[in-house]
Structure 1
């Protein structure tokens, strides 16, 4: 055949003998670890009650509840206005909390980035502080702030802000560390200081990434703000919890539908803003 070259299989086997061993020591070890992990998974599933029939029995109950939730019905226009006002409050909580978290996390991210902060002690304490904040769930922060500032949307915005500072700090610092060093080196070699190197060498490169992350978290925090309202942190979560507690399932589905529509709209607007910042590179028209 034209273009066909004979392959010396023995020579290839000699050069790469480890790839021709069907059950070498490494593969046996990997298979043993995989088998042990699978056995542990099956054991854990059994211990959690997945094999006692509760799940199958609950599927029928789930179908029944779903039927009772349809069609979504707010009962009257007074409830529509009430739920709409609470939903706008939820979106405001998410927006303010996300923007505040991004503004506070950015300087901490520069302190935690290896290519910006040379002092190991500063980087260590910055990273550990971000880890500590990130380790506490947003519901816990909501409970803490409700006890500090009282019930209402202010506590919800503070909870989202506090929870997102740790996450934003980690994501921002990783984006900063991944930035190309050549622009910074060029600015410094031309006589600019380190601050100018960061301002004109790093920030313009990572800014689109940071904006994308903030926009995504704004969308995600809208869902989170709906949940923290259950503990008194403002927004539509309180009405959602009350509808579930009183078995007003059609109202429950109406509230959930409102949240879904708002998240979809936020996703669309966020996409347009993201394209406006980073351009439509790689997008096929």
Structure 2
């Protein structure tokens, strides 16, 4: 190192002592966090009974089941499976639609630019957090005991779970809207409803529509899961075939679900492109 570079380094040390002379606690923070995370990971493996032998046996069993699934074959149950798939899609669509319809007015009350007072907005936000904090599967188990087995319980479970999530997302979209359009409506003599209808809605509707399409795609998978616990749809058929070890029918049902989700993803992508534009879809 040349004398000039040493002088420059000494000058930097004098100007920025906090950078060059960090305390020991600051230097050891990251290594301590990594060591703690590693210790927790190892403890979790030991506490949960992780075993390489069990893992190898499980892989062997999985390979055997995969061979038993080939080729996929619905037998004589194809019409029943198609009706069950349609029921699953109906559960996802109705649940998402109900959640969005009820979440939008509540999201207006949870948005800071609509309700400035934190006294009124805070309990609404916490209410949405409470609803969102319970998983869809738990809501399905609750509603099955309330209204009985069947797709109606599935619709209510998805609607209630998504109500909390969509309410939060809608309120954030409303808070992120440009206030200039709202102020223009107010300056032209419009009331609060006019501000929402003509100032906010044109801005947030594309975002809300994109979120609804994504949730519908996601709820197709959720409707399959909750069907396993008795909420109807193709999940109920899947659980029944797994129970009786009809692996070829199981693989056919899984293939139907994958094709349905792929088609919904493709269609929703086209719709998002038409509603929001190419930048949001990309």
Q: TM-score, normalised by structure 1?
A: 0.89
Distance in 2, matches of 1:152 and 1:165, equals 21
The 10-residue stretch of structure 1 (26-35 or 249-258) with the greater mean CA deviation from structure 2: 26-35
Distance in 2, matches of 1:74 and 1:91, equals 19
1:171-190 equivalence runs, <5 A: 171-190=169-188
Does structure 1 conserve the Cα–Cα contact (< 8 Å) formed by 2:273 and 2:281? no
Determine the structure 2 residue equivalent to 1:62.
62
- Equivalent of 1:259, from 257, 260, 265? 257
1:83 deviation in Å? Answer: 0.3
Does structure 1 conserve the Cα–Cα contact (< 8 Å) formed by 2:95 and 2:159? yes
Determine the structure 2 residue equivalent to 1:37.
37
1:144-223 equivalence runs, <5 A: 144-223=142-221
Change in 2 beyond 3 A, CA 1:43/1:131: same
Question: RMSD value over aligned CA atoms?
Answer: 2.1
Distance in 1, matches of 2:211 and 2:148, equals 30
SS at 1:53 equivalent: helix
Distance in 2, matches of 1:48 and 1:132, equals 29
- Equivalent of 2:91, from 90, 93, 100? 93
Determine the structure 1 residue equivalent to 2:267.
269
Question: 5+ residue gaps in structure 2?
Answer: 1-6
Q: How many residues align?
A: 276
More helix by share: 2
Are 1:74 and 2:74 an aligned pair?
Answer: yes
1:11 deviation in Å? Answer: 4.0
- Equivalent of 1:230, from 211, 228, 231? 228
1:100 deviation in Å? Answer: 0.7
Does structure 1 conserve the Cα–Cα contact (< 8 Å) formed by 2:107 and 2:171? yes
1:14 deviation in Å? Answer: 3.9
1:202 deviation in Å? Answer: 2.1
Question: 5+ residue gaps in structure 1?
Answer: 1-6
Determine the structure 2 residue equivalent to 1:3.
none
Change in 2 beyond 3 A, CA 1:15/1:200: farther
Q: TM-score, normalised by structure 2?
A: 0.90
Listed one character per residue, the Cα deviations across residues 57-83 of structure 1 (whole Å, up to 9, x for unaligned) are: 21111111111111111123xx11110
Listed one character per residue, the Cα deviations across residues 183-234 of structure 1 (whole Å, up to 9, x for unaligned) are: 2233323433333222222222222111111111101101111111122211
Determine the structure 2 residue equivalent to 1:4.
none
